[in-house]
Amino acid sequence: MINITLPDGTIVESDGPVSGEDVAKGISEGFARNCVAMEVDGKLTDLSTPIETDASVVFITTNDEQGLDIMRHSAAHVMAEAILNLYPDAKLTIGPVIEDGFYYDIDMPPISEDDFPKIEQEINKIIKAKKPFVRKTLSKAEALDFYKDNAFKTELISELEDGTISIYEQGGFTDLCRGPHVPNTGLVKTLKLMKVSGAYWRGDSERPMLQRLYGTAFFDKKELKSYLHLLEEAKKRDHRKLGTALDLFSFHEEAAGMPFFHARGMELWNALLAYWREEHKKAGYVETKTPIMLNKGLWERSGHWENYRENMYTSLIEDFDYAIKPMNCPGGMLLYKTKHHSYNDLPIRAGEIGLVHRHELSGVLSGLFRVRAFHQDDAHIFMTEEMIEDEILGVLQLVERMYSTFGLGFHLELSTRPEKSIGTDEQWEKATEGLRAALDKSGRDYKINEGDGAFYGPKIDIHIKDALGRTWQCGTIQLDMNLPERFDLTYVGADNQRHRPVMIHRVIYGSIERFLGILIEHYAGKFPLWLSPCQAVVLAMNDDVAGYAKEVKAKLEEAGLRMEIDLRAESINKKVRDAQLSKIPLMLTVGGKEEAAQTLAVRTLDGKVKYGVTIGDFLNKVLPHIESRNPDLVEF
């Protein structure tokens, strides 16, 4: 008799070995149809695997994220079979699951998206055939013989340890794979090819160039439709296109990966930083600034020269090596050491908007999201061990206050001690418990990533969610037991003895350039009034009212608004249209009637127009709206 324990404690009895699929059918036929795999005593495996001894079984269903990943892995096999059916000489390499789908690298002649319809037609035949996925095992020697005509697979097999190697069959198609897979190809439901690009075998430019086919798959056609709609919406919001259309920034080959900010972009930049400075001053931070270039000795002391040298830009000055800083932290250590500190001085909260440079390969550069020169809103907090919980809680409160202003939700992840780390068990326990206690006290849910902390301390990663539901890791809070030791940072305690301070690194925006890119897409370029690069534009009906238009602009600028004026010899309809395309929140039309009455016609981006608004009434409505950083449109 075999006892199978389900997650709710129910025990299913079997007279002999039984497959997971049969156990699922015993629960209900409907439940079995939704099962894609199972965990037997914590080990992930196919539903067809026989359960031969007493075991705890958890079924993975179409409702589970893990189930979606398993199905997408199976979808990669379906796509690979379709490719071989159409291109028999193609050689398969690897096809992993990635975020939102999968890809397969294949040695074959170049193809384009024009070839996708015929490939998808073949894919749909395989899905409709509902071919079972069958797992088989081979010895290493047998596997090498089986794949003797595929140099890519034999290379992979040669690197495996001796022992059994698994392959999966679906009809006449076979692929090297650990598994598990869904029971049959029919569970793939919907599969769509997304794009194709070139990719070197194992990322090595000296190795063969392969075709990388990207695809996605869902259990439900509605989910695929929703996903494709999201992609279309994301294309419309692409910060690179909007950055050009709104005249915010540009890139030039003379400084690859280093953005040039235009006048409007700088207005946006300054508004973002003004808010940062205001909130940090309230939270008890001081602002500092450290040099952009420091000598090799400092980077050796910090450990960057040894561990990060290939990502740093260097220069030889008067026979001494210097490096442009890839991060602000070592300079912050030098600032701390400029004077002696008492426990009464702590905590010290020092922020810096620091320009850093990191060498990124040209192939990974992507608008403002991946650049070589960027600013970090770093802050270093120096404190005693007893202050850890309160300081972390203070940072979390600041994070919540700032992100909510932009309408950004977020979730938290606590990463604990990795295998390779510095510091004592006691230090790690105190640091981790300090972070955990602060998270618990914050009242927010969080996920624990065991063993995913930095080598120098545990950390909290902050993942924001934008208007499209996409998540971005921007903020982070890291406890550091490395740099205070390397730079011999101390303070004098109440016992009149020297002690080592605890140090926090933290960013909220992260890379300010990247955060700006996220905001551009989050708002689709329609920034709230307080943040908009141009808050209002004066549109003159004709040359006769140009003087009044300039007077209006001057008065509103004097009141603190970011203003532009359009005096072109164009129709008022074209001026309004151009202002709408520039997503300027307020369009102030002035003609002879407005000049005579000393009023404005105020148009908002939703198309509403209010006539006869005096400058005083306009400011009384707009200024409080800006001061409160109200995210909504102003109503007149």
Is the pLDDT assigned to residue 422 strictly greater than 80?
Answer: no
Q: Are residues 7 and 51 in the same domain?
A: yes
E runs forming strands in 158-303: 164-170, 173-176, 190-200, 209-218, 249-250, 260-261, 286-287, 293-295
Q: Are residues 549 and 415 in the same domain?
A: no
Among 376, 427, 478, 535, the one annotated catalytic = 376
Cα angle, residue 142 at apex, residues 139 and 147 outer, rounded to 5°: 125
Q: Are residues 253 and 212 in the same domain?
A: no
- The continuous run of DSSP H or E covering 584 comes out as none
The string of DSSP letters for 353-364 reads: EEEEE----GGG
- The continuous run of DSSP H or E covering 99 comes out as none
Is the pLDDT assigned to residue 627 strictly greater than 90?
Answer: yes
Residue 634 within a domain = no
Res 244: pLDDT: 95
pTM confidence score: 0.82
Q: Are residues 278 and 384 in the same domain?
A: yes
Residue 192 within a domain = yes
Residue 421 banded pLDDT, cuts 50, 70, 90: confident
Residue 161 banded pLDDT, cuts 50, 70, 90: confident
What tens digit of pLDDT does each residue of 171-190 get?
999 999 999 999 999 999 89
Is the pLDDT assigned to residue 241 strictly greater than 90?
Answer: yes
User: At 55, is the secondary structure helix, strand, or coil?
Assistant: strand
Q: Are residues 462 and 577 in the same domain?
A: no
**What is the distance between the alpha carbons of residues 606 and 585, in angstroms, rounded to a whole number?**
9
Whether 522 sits among the annotated catalytic residues: the reply is no
Res 208: pLDDT: 93
Whether 459 sits among the annotated catalytic residues: the reply is yes
Q: Which residues sit in the known binding site for Zn(2+)?
A: 329, 380, 505
pLDDT above 90: percentage of residues in the chain: 84
Residues 6 or more apart whose CB falls under 8 angstroms from that of 363 comprise none
What's the mean pLDDT when you consider all of the chain? 94
pLDDT above 70: percentage of residues in the chain: 100
Nearest to 41 by CA among 65, 25, 20: 20
Residue 151 within a domain = yes
Quote the crossing angle between the two packed helices 546-558 and 615-627, to the nearest 10°: 40
Q: Which residues sit in the known binding site?
A: 329, 380, 505
What tens digit of pLDDT does each residue of 100-140 get?
999 999 999 999 999 999 999 999 999 999 999 999 999 99
Q: Are residues 445 and 555 in the same domain?
A: no
Whether 252 sits among the annotated catalytic residues: the reply is no
Residue 236 within a domain = no
Please give the C-alpha separations between residue 629 and each of 268, 438, 524, in angstroms, as whole numbers: 14, 28, 18
Region 258-280 average pLDDT: 97
Please give the C-alpha separations between residue 567 and each of 13, 391, 540, 572, in angstroms, as whole numbers: 84, 53, 6, 10
Res 457: pLDDT: 85
Cα angle, residue 192 at apex, residues 189 and 198 outer, rounded to 5°: 140
Whether 505 sits among the annotated catalytic residues: the reply is yes
Domain span including residue 381 = 249-290+326-522
Among 181, 358, 417, 625, the one annotated catalytic = 358
Q: Are residues 391 and 364 in the same domain?
A: yes
Among 46, 175, 377, 378, the one annotated catalytic = 378
Res 344: pLDDT: 95
Residues 6 or more apart whose CB falls under 8 angstroms from that of 290 comprise 325, 328, 331, 332, 334, 335, 352, 354
Whether 568 sits among the annotated catalytic residues: the reply is no
What tens digit of pLDDT does each residue of 452-468 get?
888 778 999 999 999 98
Q: Are residues 75 and 177 in the same domain?
A: yes
Q: Are residues 385 and 309 in the same domain?
A: no
Of the candidates 495, 522, 549, which is a domain's last residue?
522
User: At 391, is the secondary structure helix, strand, or coil?
Assistant: helix
The string of DSSP letters for 152-171 reads: HHHHHHHTSPSSEEEEEEET
Of the candidates 309, 324, 339, which is a domain's last residue?
324
Q: Are residues 76 and 15 in the same domain?
A: no
Of the candidates 37, 61, 85, which is a domain's last residue?
61
Residue 44 within a domain = yes
Which residue carries 């794979």 as its tokens?
177
